Amino acid sequence: MEHKKAFLDVAVSICPYCGAPYADASWYVIELGCDVECGACGMIWNLKASEVDRILLEFLLDENGKVIKVKKKKRIDG
Ligand SMILES: [Zn+2]
């Protein structure tokens, strides 16, 4: 049986002040270019400026759309 698949483009950013890593949806990081307040050190910084990686996640779904498995589909080069 062929499972349905869904995808999520994710960007990984590192806080430039304390090194805490964050993973957020790429549209939020790259299209919107949002600033965030680091949960670890409290500094305000830009996710896009501190992006270090971007990948496409693949979600394998059952017949009701429930997630069975998640895997890294591919790296997206900026
Ligand atoms: Zn921080």
**Does residue 48 lie in a domain region?**
yes
Cβ neighbours of 19 (radius 10 Å):
10
**Does residue 43 lie in a domain region?**
yes
Q: How far does residue 32's CA lie from ligand 1's centre (Å)?
A: 20
**Does residue 78 lie in a domain region?**
no
pLDDT of residue 49: 97
Q: How far does residue 47's CA lie from ligand 1's centre (Å)?
A: 11
**Does residue 62 lie in a domain region?**
yes
**Does residue 39 lie in a domain region?**
yes
**Does residue 21 lie in a domain region?**
yes
pTM of the model: 0.86
The alpha carbon dihedral of 32, 37, 40, 43 has a sign of: positive
The alpha carbon dihedral of 75, 29, 12, 17 has a sign of: positive
Strand, helix or coil at 27? helix
Q: Tokens 């992006």: give the residue.
A: 51
Q: How far does residue 50's CA lie from ligand 1's centre (Å)?
A: 11
What is the enclosing helix (H) or strand (E) of 47?
none
The tens digit of pLDDT for each residue in 22-75 reads: 999 999 999 999 999 999 999 999 999 999 999 999 999 999 999 999 999 999
Q: Would you say residue 78 has pLDDT above 80?
A: no
**Does residue 37 lie in a domain region?**
yes
**Does residue 77 lie in a domain region?**
no
pLDDT category at 77 given cuts 50, 70, 90 is confident
Q: Which domain holds residue 60?
A: 4-71
